[in-house]
Amino acid sequence: MTTLEFPFRTGKVTIDLEKCRGCQSYACVEACTRFGGNLFKVEDGLPALIPSVEEAGRRCIEDLACERYCQDNGNKGLQITLDMFGLDEYRSKVGLARHGGQA
């Protein structure tokens, strides 16, 4: 799997470029251009970052529009993973197992 990834303040964007092949809408590019930090362009038929990975992480406004648009109108190749800061401590405090079934 060929991916394009960049971290941002509270998570990570991952684009599965194999899923993007043949996409006609470029929904993630459109969403980021309309609502976000204008981080993507279409290059050789695939989404590509305009800024460097480091700069993209700083410029991302975390609006999640790129993922929503991709899922609704694209090839479902973009996924955002959000960190859950403090979740393990909270689950431990209230007696719940950690994510993955381990206590």
pLDDT tens track for 19-64: 999 999 999 999 999 999 999 999 999 999 999 999 999 999 999 9
What's the structural domain count of the chain? 1
| 32 falls within a domain | yes
How many Å is the Cα radius of gyration of the chain?
A: 16
CA–CA separation, 44 and 57 (whole Å): 23
pLDDT(100) > 80? no
| 42 falls within a domain | yes
| 103 falls within a domain | no
pLDDT(12) > 80? yes
| 100 falls within a domain | no
| 102 falls within a domain | no
| 62 falls within a domain | yes
Tokens of residue 14, six digits = 């991952």
Report residue 11 CA to chain centroid gap. 8
| 99 falls within a domain | no
Instruction: State the residue range of the domain holding 75.
Output: 3-93
| 47 falls within a domain | yes
pTM for this prediction = 0.82
CA–CA separation, 22 and 9 (whole Å): 31
pLDDT(1) > 90? no
pLDDT value at position 88?
A: 85
Tokens of residue 12, six digits = 């990570």
Banded pLDDT at 91 (limits 50, 70, 90): confident
SS (H, E, C) the chain: CCEEEEEECCEEEEEEHHHHCCCCCCHHHHHHHHHCCCCEEEECCEEEECCCHHHHHHHCCCCCHHHHHHHHHCCCCEEEEECCCCHHHHHHHCCCCCCCCCC
How large a percentage of the chain has pLDDT more than 70?
93
pLDDT value at position 103?
A: 47
